[in-house]
Amino acid sequence: MPPVDQKADYSVRAGKARNRTRFFMRAVLVFAGLLCVVAAANLVLYTLGFSVGFFERWAEAQYFGRIVAVQEGSFEIVGQGTAPLTVLIVPTTQIRRGRDGVGFKDLRIGFYAVVVGSENAAGQIEARVVRILNSR
User: What pLDDT digit, counting tens, does each position of 75-106 carry?
Assistant: 999 988 888 999 999 999 999 998 888 988 88
Total number of residues shown for the chain: 136
Give the HSE-up count for residue 53: Cα atoms under 13 Å, Cβ half-sphere.
Answer: 2
The kind and range of the H/E element at 118 are strand 112-119
Q: Count CB atoms within 10 A of the CB of residue 9.
A: 9
Give residue 115's pLDDT: 93
Average pLDDT over residues 119-131: 91
Q: Round the average pLDDT of the chain to a whole number and report it.
A: 85
pLDDT tens for residues 13-35? 666 777 788 889 999 999 999 99
Task: State the Cα angle at 95 between 99 and 112, rounded to 5°.
Answer: 85
Cβ–Cβ under 8 Å, residues 134 and 98: no
In eight-state DSSP terms, residue 5 is T
Average pLDDT over residues 23-51: 92
Give residue 51's pLDDT: 79
Whether the predicted pLDDT of 58 surpasses 60: no
Write the CB contacts of 44 (distance below 8 Å, at least 6 apart in sequence): none
The kind and range of the H/E element at 88 are strand 85-97
Q: Reduced to 3 DSSP states, what percent helix, strand and coil does the chain have, rounded to the nearest 5? A: 30, 35, 35
